[in-house]
Structure 1
Amino acid sequence: MVLAKTPINSGSIQLYGYMAAPDYVDGRLNYVFNHSRDNPAIVQQASLIEMTGPKRGIVMLSDVLMEFDMRIKTGAKEEDDLQLIDGLTCLDKRMSSRPFTLRFNGTSGGAVDMCLALILEGMEVAVVVAISEVQSAFHLSLSSFVSVTEKKGECQEIQLFHDAVSDLCTKRFVVAVPMDTMMHLKFKVGKKGPGGDSRYLCSFDVNRHECVDQQIKIEAACISVKMTVLPPLI
């Protein structure tokens, strides 16, 4: 997700609320974004909104409703806050298997963009990234590359994380991956001084592995990556 527009002119905003989809599995809300007012996400316009979920894949055997209520914290009281987007939309089970961008517009001039694609015969992969032994702050960008089209060799980049890291932390993501394909995780580590960014790649064969652990040792920290193929939801 990307913060496309905001109703206020500010370098960064405090964003809270939720975006979620109740689907075929149990009918309960499966949160894509979920932050309380006391723990808002700090976001800049045109920057990535880090998703807090989903906790599992969103199964689409029929159309799915996406609910959202996202607000900008502006004062001491909730009634002083601004509405970014609020409402619901229907995701059609016949939507494109090629990635496309859907815009959620708010009535006050705010908007959020989300990149979507329907994965046919997909597998669910849990990705856990643990950052430890942090020696100094650094900037980390994490993207997943998977083939989501019928064209061989054509991959789509899905940005999962993009922020500064200054202390140990653990991030968990769920990625839908088509059968008979590879998933690649690209880590881009930003550092000061000459040399620019350093890039690292972890690859994962969905059909051949159930669980893979890899470790990336950089000057500033140690990054442990665990990728696990989850059992079918239905």
Structure 2
Amino acid sequence: MTQHRSDYGSEKDTEVDDLEWEDHVMATVAGEVRRRRKELGWSAQDLADRCEGIGYPIPRNVIANMESGRRASLPLVEVMVLAKALRMSPISLIYPVGYVDEVRQLPYQDPQPAFDALQWFTGSSAADDATDYMLDHFLAHDLEVRSALAAVESEDYERWKVKTAPNRVQREAAERALARYADQATNAKHELRSHRDAIREAGGTPPHLPSQLDDVDPPDIDTTEENDL
């Protein structure tokens, strides 16, 4: 990993031995906890108090030992709680984009930009050997929901313009726009339906749909249980 900030250790670039990769990941998290805590103007006790308020106490001495590198392990649950307490995302503790230039996402790998590693970790950029297709369907599903909602909202607006057009020219222009957005909404709903079907076929439960897209699922699909999840 390449580092340039004092919160992460040496001011100089630091190459960590492969055998120390796990410790290096922990040091990165600890460095970002320390940097963010200082940015907020908090003491270690302030941070400990906020962790306790969340419902998962992390004592001040544990935080101090983590930041100083004296701690032997850092459980994932603590990363989650610390991120919440520090008002940030857990992934930003693991890959502090903008504060750490390069990381090695796994042992024996060459350093790569921190943002690339972050995308790999979150599934935004799948690994070459990735086979977690359920995640792919959920990511695509989210994009299609946004596309469908935008088209439906535009369709409703153009429908209103058709009804309220003060003259023939404006009404005809609104009708043409209405037809375009109607086609876009139809196509987006079709793609959305295909991803929902694929999720079900793989044994998963599709996400809840907003009310504007209630007509995406066929009438014979019981979504009551899905919407309760």
Structure with bigger RCO (C-alpha 8 Å, 6+ apart): 1
Q: Please state which structure has a larger fraction of its residues in helix.
A: 2
TM-score (norm 2): 0.20
TM-score (norm 1): 0.20
Q: Please state which structure has a larger fraction of its residues in strand.
A: 1
Q: Which has the larger radius of gyration?
A: 2
